[in-house]
Structure 1
């Protein structure tokens, strides 16, 4: 028997071997090297080339847990774990099996290892770097153990893979990707309480480090994401788009790719295409380790059906866990074009643009049918789903088409190294159950630690009092409210509440008080997740409800936004601005505590949540309240303050549905008197961003006006500002609504719940106001004062029909309704600018107040 030499299967620095060891009897095949039947030799070599080639992994541990014998799966052998083996350390030797008909053909799920206490598998690592960890679970009843009620945690290295995990009554495999940095990998199973942990099978396999590259497109805000190689990932979905299932026998890294049909929202929008033989791998791009040719050689494309005016997106929807970022890998290979410069398309993810006018030939530089992948990293996901869409480019004279060949969605570990829940690794020595000495030692040690901590806190408290008496504090800590008494947070924290102007005390709140208010940041109290971090509902010790925003260390919003929020809110008190109660910066935390807004966000009442629909009058009142808050920011202080992130998610509603503007982390002080704008980097939320600010990077109050105009249309239509699942002309709400407004047919696109309930005059005035807000140039947009006036007028028109209304002139009507306002003018020499711009003036309670009266006169305009 002859054996083919290894060099035949060596490529790109990694060792590859056929799926099975191939041994050939040269005599029987008559293929001696002197060589007749050379044709058969060539035929045989071609056959080998078509076989999937497997990575010769430096580390490859395949364990069939609880099995008394080894188990062969295809070309791989899963070895039996042994209670006395070098891998396994567990308090008790409990293994079991089942004869359930459900898993007769699933060999790896027929046996199980049961853990009654903390147990570990320990593996020697020959080559540090990226490794796959695959865990197999199938709960069944074995003796007195009902594994469907098991509850346990699984950790590996410094990462939590599963927290408080209870498998469902079906087989499940969880795949993780971890960068192993030491020569030993320990996987720990920890049962909760009196429960048990279990495992049916386990894989630890090294993979090329190039599988995860330290680069990716960051979405919202747009930029580059660095640091992927340090992260751990959980595979959420791995999809062969447009093709059949590809199982582990046909993938170099033993992965499984599932068909995409169950994730596709509208099957009629796409058709399958296939040309596996055409797939090419090019140096520096995707390899067969990235995805096999059977993935790159199949695709879904737009079903434009020879229709040059087709305009829709093909969309897939996936279930995800909120509160995490996700790495989404798009696999592309142009197997549909006959020539270059034919295929251009757009790629979206949720409301984010991944790529516009995508040209695959520019990504590959190797012509058609060349495999390539693109990575995108999401911001923190706040919902339970992630949608991926492809659609036609807006380039003129390009046929509407789009393709996608494969897709991988991977959850990224959070700031405490967890892929499931918020727990972090707490090292526990295995086999400590019942060790009384260890327990006593830990108890005594714990008492000593508590005593030392108490002494330290007393020392810090004395030092704080001494420094306060000497007038020391951090330069950026907000101090007082010009004589106003701020909110306090109960007796335990009374020393940290702000006082009078002369007290010079800040808003700092002890971390222990924040922990107590949120029940140690109980996940059940999470009421929102944003770019800064999670928001918890809390109750301080005097019974006051609060909202606690805890900064995520991995958030793109950091210390600057934290400081800005405190500085801004400590200076303002207005009934339509959310009040800051305090902050905490202990233990490297960035925590903000606000008044609690009972009814959440305006966005949540418009769409996405199952809440009762708001009436048109109520929506107008909310818009008016928000406009009052923004007008106060722009005019009620010595210098204008530009919010820079006006959106429906940042307009909160109290128990009476009164609107308050929130989230001042991106706010910016406006230009000096002799300046027209502030030059600054572009920040804000996609869909609300002022295009002029984006183009010129010149910020003015009119940037807030543009964003507020988008909010007005959002209030009217009750839909997201960017929705890539809709036909192309409807994706961007502002553009779509403006088209209908200019046609004079805005009633065609309003929220169905408002149909027939808006008086035409009110709708017309509201639409005109929103249209003016969205003017291309800031100088053509109204001030927030003008907007407020028009919205109040729209409310008047909704509540009562005004007789003899000439041309529905808002100036005339407001003047006629409130003639008493004519006794005041900002230009009046008896009124000083100091009086007019006093930053403690709350103008919110005055409908059609004197502040706007100059608009009643032509010279005032």
Structure 2
């Protein structure tokens, strides 16, 4: 009884601490505040910046570097005291900070150019970098104080910030902050299903408080400054400011946003349409921001409905340049039927910006009876590093590191449809810093918990094999494998045995002692796809077997690992045979047979049980090919049971891969089997054109599906087929295939065919391809699709 009371007390204390955190803000694990060149500590608000001569343990600099420059006598200088001193570097110099807790950290750099002795700081030109990212390149500051804010994901036990003068120049710094950032601030799975953001380096371009005043750093839990939106408005006469700060409700149960996401002053003020009370109002309120071309941007929209008098009154659209990023946005529903609950939404621009302007707009929804108004409370625009790991417009390479950092690729892509061009997100390549040796040695993160299918801790489950037992896939079907067996099968997770990398982790080729080949998917403990996906995959694949679904042989959760073991698919992914890998090209007949096999697997998921199974991540990378090129659908980590017989849909958060994602599902968060049909339609055009779903070089509003649909509707689909298929597809077969793909991509799910109908049409397309008309062979040959024009072969999108 006493133990139970102690437990109750522990839970109560924990709850109080959690509530206190929600109300008072984030308590950083790491916090370094440095006043550079100052002979003494400097107080700013309630923070104390340590003089870097007193913090010399952080600084490594050559002897001839000028240091401890103090200009306390600056006249008419009423800015922060941090700008009154500086440290000048004439050679490459480093600040090294010990990191007690890995994760995202702020790096804020303070600059103010003044003249001291023979140094005019406005003439300084230099670069700033970490172990894995270039933050600034050939950077200079002209005649004004400036704060550059970055956030980077630190995975090692130290952060090294290097200042490197350009040729015949020098570097300088007035002050610096290195502070931990809350994990929930930048999540891997954002509101629109993005993957890969957690390890991306970000630079804050703009942070704006719509409809309100400047919010100083003292009034923000994370010491951010928010500027007013007036100077960014394209037509201020169309906009109206509203303030209702007291109404903001940080609803703990909804957990849509905390004060660490944005302060109450931001969520309590907004800009709305000036003639919002006019039912005939039909215009957009727009803002325009200057950005660096050549980069993609994470745009975070902040909303809080403090203007509506009742629920379900306000519906509106949100635009980024010419794209609709949210249609018929209903904040009441998102806030679990409450008003004035803060909400934020992330969006990544489709490709590298080609101009230096980014336009954000809001406007009324065309829904009948919708209140003609639109609001925006706050906005953040953050630059994403490029494929070289750089945030600099200059062509700088990431400096080498003593750690074994390697480059991996994470793709963020988008989807669109007809008049509603939904979120179109381009491929983002970024560098991940990984201490591979340490991960190989440890093999786990202490935050991961062992899994048990029946809900108990897995270490209590009996294992069929000990570590010294010879494993056999045939005899060990669907069993839990010990970690030692998996380690042996993968040659201790040899990097040269990696056959794929996904959101969950790396996939290794494995060979058991009896010679059986397997594919071993090892969860990355830092991945956001963790326990839930692991459970789902095992739960789903243990229920069904089908010749066109990849079979699960077993799993391992020893030593806090999350490992899934599958049949080995000799020929890899369908995607790898279409583009980018150098694998042999597939014939048209082979492609049709692959599509038919995948459709059969999806048809089984949708109809094989009383309640359908919706895959939610249908894409060419999740269609695998065995030694006979038989297609098998794989990766069920995002799968979800569909609607009951008396339901039309399942309401659920949006998950999937952009470029393939059903825009109706994204817009309404209502999942049906037709969402898989849309994704499969994208795959069909991918198979026909052998091109990526998205290409960073495309115009912003274009992706492969939209582009192919334009050619299909013009009746000229033969103009865009894979050049290796030129002259090899019968016109009737192509016509049927194109019609099938077009129907899959219908704007609304009710207008799309079932997977069963898609399957029958594909089988018919195959029959048409194989049909022979007696006495007409030569004519049939000349009627086949001819060679592509050079322009289309070069994949220049024609609009």
1:382-781 equivalences in 2 (<5 Å) = 382-383=353-354, 384-421=356-393, 422-427=395-400, 560-562=578-580, 673=732, 676-678=735-737, 696=752
Q: Are 1:565 and 1:665, in contact at CA under 8 Å, matched by a contact in 2?
A: no
Higher relative contact order (CA 8 A, sep 6+): 2
- Distance in 2, matches of 1:271 and 1:327, equals 26
Deviation per CA, 1:271-292: give whole Å up to 9, x if none.
0111111101122220010111
Q: Residues 694, 316 of structure 1: CA spacing in aligned structure 2 closer, same or farther, 3 A cutoff?
A: farther
Structure 1 residue 105 corresponds to structure 2 residue 76: no
1:798-809 equivalences in 2 (<5 Å) = none
Q: Shift in Å at residue 188 of structure 1?
A: 0.8
Equivalent residue number for residue 839 of structure 1? 786
Q: Residues 663, 118 of structure 1: CA spacing in aligned structure 2 closer, same or farther, 3 A cutoff?
A: farther
TM-score by length of 2: 0.52
Q: Residues 364, 147 of structure 1: CA spacing in aligned structure 2 closer, same or farther, 3 A cutoff?
A: same
Q: Residues 674, 424 of structure 1: CA spacing in aligned structure 2 closer, same or farther, 3 A cutoff?
A: closer
Q: Are 1:154 and 1:188, in contact at CA under 8 Å, matched by a contact in 2?
A: yes
- Distance in 1, matches of 2:177 and 2:362, equals 35
- Distance in 1, matches of 2:361 and 2:211, equals 14
Q: Are 1:564 and 1:665, in contact at CA under 8 Å, matched by a contact in 2?
A: no
3-state SS of the aligned residue for 1:299? strand
Structure 1 residue 340 corresponds to structure 2 residue 399: no
Q: Shift in Å at residue 11 of structure 1?
A: 6.0
Structure 1 residue 254 corresponds to structure 2 residue 254: no
Equivalent residue number for residue 727 of structure 1? none
Q: Are 2:273 and 2:374, in contact at CA under 8 Å, matched by a contact in 1?
A: yes
- Distance in 2, matches of 1:665 and 1:835, equals 18
Residue 185 of structure 2: which of 200, 203, 211 is its match? Answer: 211
Equivalent residue number for residue 280 of structure 2? 309
Q: Are 1:176 and 1:233, in contact at CA under 8 Å, matched by a contact in 2?
A: yes
- Distance in 1, matches of 2:222 and 2:782, equals 72
Deviation per CA, 1:207-228: give whole Å up to 9, x if none.
211111111356xxxxx32011
1:43-442 equivalences in 2 (<5 Å) = 53=24, 55-82=26-53, 85-91=56-62, 92-98=65-71, 99-101=73-75, 103-216=77-190, 224-283=193-252, 284-383=255-354, 384-421=356-393, 422-427=395-400
Q: Shift in Å at residue 348 of structure 1?
A: 0.9
Q: Shift in Å at residue 124 of structure 1?
A: 1.5
Q: Shift in Å at residue 834 of structure 1?
A: 4.0
Number of corresponding residues:
465
Q: Are 1:682 and 1:697, in contact at CA under 8 Å, matched by a contact in 2?
A: no
Q: Shift in Å at residue 649 of structure 1?
A: 8.7
| Structure 2 unpaired stretches of 5+ | 1-11, 403-574, 587-686, 708-717, 755-774, 792-799
3-state SS of the aligned residue for 1:347? strand
Equivalent residue number for residue 4 of structure 2? none
- Distance in 2, matches of 1:662 and 1:198, equals 57
- Distance in 2, matches of 1:843 and 1:73, equals 64
- Distance in 1, matches of 2:13 and 2:218, equals 20
Q: Are 2:688 and 2:721, in contact at CA under 8 Å, matched by a contact in 1?
A: no
Q: Are 1:344 and 1:401, in contact at CA under 8 Å, matched by a contact in 2?
A: yes
Q: Residues 834, 843 of structure 1: CA spacing in aligned structure 2 closer, same or farther, 3 A cutoff?
A: farther
Q: Shift in Å at residue 249 of structure 1?
A: 0.7
Q: Residues 681, 239 of structure 1: CA spacing in aligned structure 2 closer, same or farther, 3 A cutoff?
A: farther
- Distance in 2, matches of 1:841 and 1:236, equals 44
Q: Residues 839, 377 of structure 1: CA spacing in aligned structure 2 closer, same or farther, 3 A cutoff?
A: same
Q: Are 2:89 and 2:171, in contact at CA under 8 Å, matched by a contact in 1?
A: yes
Bigger helix fraction: 1
When Rg is computed on C-alpha atoms for both structures, the one with the higher figure is 1
What do you get for the CA RMSD once the two structures are aligned?
A: 4.3
- Distance in 1, matches of 2:129 and 2:169, equals 17
- Distance in 2, matches of 1:424 and 1:191, equals 15
Q: Shift in Å at residue 168 of structure 1?
A: 2.1
Q: Shift in Å at residue 56 of structure 1?
A: 2.9
- Distance in 1, matches of 2:785 and 2:370, equals 57
- Distance in 2, matches of 1:135 and 1:344, equals 40
Deviation per CA, 1:447-500: give whole Å up to 9, x if none.
xxxxxxxxxxxxxxxxxxxxxxxxxxxxxxxxxxxxxxxxxxxxxxxxxxxxxx
- Distance in 2, matches of 1:681 and 1:97, equals 73
Q: Are 2:276 and 2:372, in contact at CA under 8 Å, matched by a contact in 1?
A: no
